[in-house]
Amino acid sequence: MTLNNLTDLQVEQLRRSLLQWYNKQGRDLPWRRTTDPYPIWVSEIMLQQTQVKTVIPYYERWLIQFSTISQVAQAELQTVLKAWEGLGYYARGRNLHKAAQVVTQIYESRFPDQLEKVLALPGIGRTTAGGILSAAFNQPISILDGNVKRVLSRLIALPVIPTEALSELWALSDRLLDPDQPRDFNQALMDLGATVCTRSQPNCVECPWNFACEAYNKKIQNQLPIRKMSVPLPHKRIGVAVIFNDEGLILIDRRPEGGLLGGLWEFPGGKIEPNETVEQCVEREILEEIGIAIAVGENLITIDHAYTHFRVTLQVHLCRYVSGTPQTIECDEIRWVSLDEIDQFPVPKANSQIITALKERDRLNNLVK
Ligand code: SF4
C-alpha cells in the first residue's frame, strides 16, 4: 500500500477499525477528561519528548499551581521553571510562559481556536497545534509526532528514513484522519503508537491495522522505520565548583536565558581543556566567568549525564572562596545561598544530584559532630 493507491474503502476500514479498537483499548489519561484547551495545551507541551507516565504527576501538580492561563502569564519565569524542574527540555517551559503572556494579552486569556493563531504561539509546531485543536475543539487537523511517524511508516512500509518523507507522512495522516471524529482518531493513533506499534516488538497480532499493514504483511515490522546510522555522541568533561564562603553559604549562578538550560541555576564551572587537570580547569573557569579566586578542594561527586546531542561528565569539587567580588560575566545573576535555600531554585537534573550529594555530606558531618 502507498499513499497514492489507498482507496476510499481502505481509508474507511482503517478509520473504523482504529476507532473501534480505541473505544475498547484507549488509555484513560487525565487530559482526555476535559475539552478545555488550557490543560490540553499543557499536556501536549509536556508530552513533547517526555513519556506519559513521567508527565502525569507534573501535569497534575502544574494545574494545581497554575489553574488558569493568566496565572502562568503572571508568574515569574523562575517559578515556572521550578515547576518544570526535572522534565528536561526547559525551552518548553520558557515558551509556555511566553505563550501564556501572549494569550493573556492578545486573546484575553482564551486559548485561540484558529490554526494560524495557535501556530504563531511560542513553542507550538504543526503536530502540537493539531493535537490541541483536535482534542479541545474536535477540529479535523492531523498530527505527526514520533509515535505516529513510526505507525504510518510501517503501515506503508516506507522505504526511507521518516525525516526524508515528511510531506508524504503528513499527507497520509491528513488522508486517514476521520473528519467526523478527529478528536478520537488522533488520540487513537497516538495510543496505537504508544501501546501496540511500539518501537521494539510491535504487537501486530493485536493491532487493529494488521489487515492492511505493509510492514506486517512483509514481516519487516521490526526493521522499520529505517533509522539513520547512529554516530557516537560527543563527550565533554566539565569541572564544576561548589564554592563555600566563610559563612558557609554556597555560590550559584543563573544561566543566560537564551541558551541550553537557559534561566536555570547551577554550580559554576566549564570545560576541561586538553592538558589541564580538573583542579586547574575549575580555578580558571571561576576566575574567567565569575571573577573570583578560589581554593579547589576534594572531589564531591562525578556525574555522567546524557543530553540529546552530547554526553557530559561533571567532576564536582568542593572549593573555598578566597578573594574578589563575584561578577555576572557569563551568567545573568549570582547568589550566595544556604543548603536549605537551594531547593527554591530551579536547577538542571545533574545539579540536583550535586545538591543531594551535598546534603548527604552535611548529614554525615552532623553525625560525626
Ligand atoms: S500491524 Fe504491526 S507494524 Fe503494522 S501498524 Fe500494527 S503494530 Fe504497527
Q: Which of 133-142, 143-152, 302-311 has the lowest mean pLDDT?
A: 302-311
Domain residues of the chain, as ranges? 8-223, 235-368
- pLDDT confidence band for 6 (50 / 70 / 90): confident
Q: Which atom in ligand 1 lies closest to the alpha carbon of residue 208?
A: 6
The answer to whether residue 368 scores a pLDDT higher than 90 is no
- 254 phi, psi to nearest 5 deg: -105, 125
What's the rounded Cα separation, in Å, for the pair 6 and 45? 32
Averaged pLDDT, 265-289: 95
- pLDDT confidence band for 100 (50 / 70 / 90): very high
Ligand 1, pocket-test mutation among 219, 221, 226, most atoms within 8 A of CB: 221
CA 321, 323, 326: angle at the middle one, nearest 5? 80
CA-nearest residue, atom 3 of ligand 1 = 221
Confidence (pLDDT) at 271: 95
Please give the distance, rounded to the nearest whole angstrom, from the Cα atom of residue 55 to the centre of ligand 1.
26
Confidence (pLDDT) at 67: 97
User: Options 1.10.8.870, 3.90.660.10, 1.10.340.30, 3.90.550.10; which CATH number does 8-223 get?
Assistant: 1.10.340.30
Instruction: Please indicate whether residue 60 is annotated as part of the active site.
Output: no
Ligand 1, pocket-test mutation among 17, 155, 173, most atoms within 8 A of CB: 155
Confidence (pLDDT) at 3: 62
The answer to whether residue 146 scores a pLDDT higher than 90 is yes
* pLDDT one-digit tens code per residue, 29-54: 999 999 999 999 999 999 998 999 99
The answer to whether residue 232 scores a pLDDT higher than 80 is yes
Instruction: Kindly report the pTM of this predicted structure.
Output: 0.86
* Domain 235-368 listed as CATH 1.10.10.10: no
E strands along the chain, which residues? Answer: 235-244, 250-254, 265-266, 269-271, 293-306, 311-323, 333-337
* pLDDT one-digit tens code per residue, 192-204: 999 999 999 999 9
Confidence (pLDDT) at 307: 85
Buried b (16+ CB within 10 A) or exposed e, 32-47: beeeebbbbbbbbbbb
Percent of the chain with pLDDT over 90: 90
At 134 the three-state DSSP class reads helix
Confidence (pLDDT) at 352: 94
User: Using a 6 Å cutoff on CB, does residue 187 contact ligand 1?
Assistant: no
Reported as half-sphere exposure (CB side, CA atoms, 13 A), residue 277 has a value of 7
Contacts of 119 (CB under 8 A, 6+ apart): 125, 126, 129
Confidence (pLDDT) at 366: 83
User: Using a 6 Å cutoff on CB, does residue 210 contact ligand 1?
Assistant: yes
CA nearest neighbour of 86 among 314, 348, 351, 357: 348
Confidence (pLDDT) at 1: 66
Q: Which amino acid is at 137?
A: F
The answer to whether residue 91 scores a pLDDT higher than 80 is yes
CA-nearest residue, atom 2 of ligand 1 = 204
Please give the distance, rounded to the nearest whole angstrom, from the Cα atom of residue 144 to the centre of ligand 1.
16
Q: Which atom in ligand 1 lies closest to the alpha carbon of residue 150?
A: 8
Please give the distance, rounded to the nearest whole angstrom, from the Cα atom of residue 155 to the centre of ligand 1.
7
User: Using a 6 Å cutoff on CB, does residue 213 contact ligand 1?
Assistant: yes
The answer to whether residue 279 scores a pLDDT higher than 70 is yes
CA nearest neighbour of 83 among 311, 274, 345: 345
At 97 the three-state DSSP class reads helix
Give the three cell numbers for residue 209: 491495522
Name the catalytic one among 44, 85, 266, 289.
Answer: 44
Contacts of 231 (CB under 8 A, 6+ apart): none
Task: Say how far residue 323 (Cα) sits from the centre of its chain.
Answer: 39
Confidence (pLDDT) at 283: 96
The answer to whether residue 18 scores a pLDDT higher than 90 is yes
The reply to whether 235-368 shares the fold of 8-223 is: no
Confidence (pLDDT) at 119: 98
Task: Say how far residue 51 (Cα) sits from the centre of its chain.
Answer: 9
Please give the distance, rounded to the nearest whole angstrom, from the Cα atom of residue 224 to the centre of ligand 1.
10
CA-nearest residue, atom 4 of ligand 1 = 213
Please give the distance, rounded to the nearest whole angstrom, from the Cα atom of residue 171 to the centre of ligand 1.
19
What's the rounded Cα separation, in Å, for the pair 155 and 217? 10
- Mean pLDDT over the full length of the chain: 95
Please give the distance, rounded to the nearest whole angstrom, from the Cα atom of residue 21 to the centre of ligand 1.
13
